[in-house]
Amino acid sequence: MSNSVQRVSVRRIPGGLEQQDHLVVEEPLELVLAYCDPTNQSGDDQNQPIEKTIAITMRTPGHDDVLAAGFFFTEGVISAPSDIIAISTVDNRTVVSLRSGLVPDLKLLERHFYTNSSCGVCGKTSLEALHAVAPFPVPGAPFICSAEALQALPAELLHRQGAFASTGSAHAAALFNVDGVIESAYEDVGRHNALDKLIGAAFLAGQLPLSKHGILLSGRAGFELVQKTRMAASPMLAAIGAPSGLAVDLAWESGMTLVGFLREQSMNVYSCPSRIIVLTA
């Protein structure tokens, strides 16, 4: 059995029979930055790396290296694979070691990421902050996808969702091309983590910006998920669930096509619809 799924005993009602069920694994992961600060006045060795815990996320174990890389990229800490000299995970603690001379802006990190819809961040301030740190522009016309190709994506994604098939409780994020072919997919108990894994893998492979790829989400498209997609400069985000109002605002501001309620026969296009063409009447 995969380390993303665990077996538990349950009592079925009606009937009262004791049976085995499968649950998605959820464990904490401590995300740590290691860096050297030449301005350190504490008297410590300036060449001795400082380790700073930035966040603790509840995630499904596996692909912790790409999760960490995706998280720190979408938070604006790193901008190129060369910014990282090593990533190591021991006992649910992932340390990302930064290259010499790169000192993270910890004040930016204090409230730069958005953990949930009640974080109290002003929408206008959030949009302005994102535009200030996004490393790539969202491309214009070249990414054109047919409605028919998009509508086939949910079924294709299901074939790649092994943890979801076993548990019914894992989110997924996938990368697809203009032909509607899924090229990679990641699962996690957290929708943000699934997307960070996807973007982190592309980041470490030197594939950013994602100007020739769209991103597919198995659930809803909240502001923070559009924000991460914007950082990777993907021109299209398609979600099987609904977007939020601020997510739509950000998609329009960024020139990104945002699709929600993606189904086999229908979809809602919330922004920049010109990237989607209908081949059949």
Q: How far apart are CA 221 and CA 261, in angstroms?
A: 10
At residue 53, the 3 state secondary structure works out as strand
- State the DSSP H helix or E strand holding residue 93, giving kind and residue range, or none if neither: strand 93-98
Kindly report the number of other CB atoms within 10 A of residue 225's CB atom: 26
119 is catalytic: yes
DSSP code string of 182-202: EEEEEEESSHHHHHHHHHHHH
Are 112 and 76 within 8 A, CB to CB?
A: yes
Q: How far apart are CA 144 and CA 241, in angstroms?
A: 22
HSE-CB at 50 with a 13 A cutoff on CA atoms is 20
Buried b (16+ CB within 10 A) or exposed e, 158-168: eebbebbebbe
Going by the DSSP 8-state scheme, the letter that residue 208 receives in this structure is -
Are 154 and 267 within 8 A, CB to CB?
A: no
Please, what is the angle between helix 64-74 and helix 191-204, to 10°? Answer: 90
Peptide bond into 14 cis (omega under 30): yes
Strand 84-89 with 27-35, pairing: unpaired
Question: Which of 119, 122, 145, 272 is an active site residue?
Answer: 119
Q: Which residues are catalytic?
A: 119
